[in-house]
Amino acid sequence: MPPSTMPPSSGFPAPCKTGTPPTVGHDDDVTTARENGAGQQSPQSPSRRRGRRPAGEDTRAALLEAARAVFAENGYHHATVRTIAQRAGVDPAMVKHWFGGKEGLFTQAVLQVPFDFRDVVADVTADGPERLGENIVRRFVTTWDGAGGDRFVALVRSITTYAEALDALRDTLVNQLFTPIAQVTGSDRPDLRASLCATQVIGLGMSRYVAGIEPLASADVETLVATIAPTLQRYLTDDLGIATD
């Protein structure tokens, strides 16, 4: 199936105007001015090109990899086009060329994931309702410990300064993952159960990958499954203890 994308074009609500995002392309303009100013070598000169990648698909891939790392370190607001380009070893103008600017780069590097969320739901529910908690923790931790860690950290570091990151986190966890999982169980209050699960998973991710709280940050997968899965299982299948009318 095609990759899942988490920008507004895929049903995401438009970002609320909680602040003005950093100006896209500012670093490109500054860099171009400096490179073309008096006493500077032309971009076409051999010494200017030395050490830069050619403007091909390898440049695009290098920018995506560098962007995930820089956004994870600094969040959206404090990450700059110049820093990302330097990390990738390319001209900052390539960010505008390939992605249209920093916002487009964030969308493709962080919000677009290489799998379909429906496959994740099918995977964690395959063993029946009684193993949901275990399967969820194992799936999230193994993904975050692997290639998906930078995406998650970049996302949570950006949610206070970039509205689209907050919308993406909320939509992904509640609407695309936990609500469908809760509905599979047939339990009451699936929306509440989904939001409770989201709090648990966000807390785990923040503590382990952003704050680095020990010994949670270095705990192995089985320890996390044994200690956290029962809480998720209760949220999804047990009586929540809420009086019904």
- Do 137 and 228 fall into the same domain? yes
**Could you give the percent of the chain with pLDDT greater than 70?**
77
Distances (CA, A) of 189 to 164, 178, 185, 209, 233: 27, 12, 11, 30, 14
- Do 79 and 149 fall into the same domain? no
- Do 63 and 162 fall into the same domain? no
Q: Does residue 142 surpass a pLDDT of 90?
A: yes
pTM over the 0.85 mark: no
Question: At 173, is the pLDDT very low, low, confident or very high (cuts 50, 70, 90)?
Answer: very high
Establish if 39 belongs to a structural domain: no
Establish if 145 belongs to a structural domain: yes
Q: Does residue 165 surpass a pLDDT of 60?
A: yes
Question: At 36, is the pLDDT very low, low, confident or very high (cuts 50, 70, 90)?
Answer: very low
- Find tokens 């999804």 and name the residue: 236
Of the residues 74, 91, 112, the one at which a domain ends: 112
Contacts (Cβ under 8 Å, ≥6 apart) of 100: 24
Say which residue, 207 or 14, is predicted with more confidence: 207
Query: Would you call 113 helix, strand, or coil by DSSP?
Result: strand
Q: What is the pLDDT of residue 15?
A: 34
> 158-179 burial string, b = 16+ CB within 10 Å, else e?
bbebbbbbbbbbbbbbbbbbbb
Establish if 183 belongs to a structural domain: yes
Question: At 57, is the pLDDT very low, low, confident or very high (cuts 50, 70, 90)?
Answer: confident
**Average model confidence (pLDDT) for the chain?**
82
pLDDT tens digits along 65-109: 999 999 999 999 999 999 999 999 999 999 999 999 999 999 999
Distances (CA, A) of 73 to 43, 78, 80, 138, 220: 30, 9, 12, 25, 23
Q: What is the pLDDT of residue 245?
A: 59
Structure tokens at 41: 């070598």
Q: What is the pLDDT of residue 6?
A: 43
Establish if 45 belongs to a structural domain: no
Percent helix, strand and coil across the chain, each to the nearest 5: 65, 0, 30
CATH number of the domain that residue 184 is part of: 1.10.357.10
Question: At 52, is the pLDDT very low, low, confident or very high (cuts 50, 70, 90)?
Answer: low
Question: At 55, is the pLDDT very low, low, confident or very high (cuts 50, 70, 90)?
Answer: low
Q: Where in the sequence is the domain holding 174, given as residue range(s)?
A: 114-237
Q: Does residue 64 surpass a pLDDT of 60?
A: yes
- Do 161 and 194 fall into the same domain? yes
Question: 45-49, 97-101, 182-186, 233-237: which has the minimum mean pLDDT?
Answer: 45-49
- Do 88 and 176 fall into the same domain? no
Q: How many domains does the chain have?
A: 2
- Do 123 and 225 fall into the same domain? yes
- Do 62 and 78 fall into the same domain? yes
Of the residues 112, 132, 157, the one at which a domain ends: 112
